[in-house]
Amino acid sequence: MTLAQLPVGQSARIAAVGGEGALRRRLLDMGLTPGTAVMVRKIAPMGDPIELHLRGYELTLRLEDAQNITLGDAPQGGEARG
């Protein structure tokens, strides 16, 4: 499953960050790194962009970019709850 497929209110842990070159570097620089807990807070009315909660802050990400983030298991103990 990718971050673009995660429903609103659900949390997961990032398993891998795809993309190439500058895109991948930008995603990593924004804190979207493997092992990070992330939760989808909102999705815009037209479905793009999405608002995420991770590492104690909110991040808005284009759906196209979110498709490069592969998710693993849900985090334990309420991590990434916003």
Residue carrying the six token digits 């590492």:
55
Separation of alpha carbons 43 and 73, rounded Å: 21
- Predicted confidence at residue 73, as pLDDT, reads 82
State yes or no: pLDDT of 82 exceeds 60: no
Break the chain into its structural domains and give their ranges.
Answer: 3-71
- Predicted confidence at residue 77, as pLDDT, reads 59
Question: Which CATH code of 3.60.15.10, 2.30.30.90, 2.60.120.580, 1.20.810.10 fits the domain covering 3-71?
Answer: 2.30.30.90
Nearby residues of 81 by Cβ (< 8 Å), 6 or more positions away: 11, 39, 53
- Predicted confidence at residue 64, as pLDDT, reads 95
Q: pLDDT, tens digit, for every residue of 28-80? A: 999 999 999 999 999 999 989 999 999 999 999 999 999 999 999 877 655 55
Prediction pTM value: 0.86
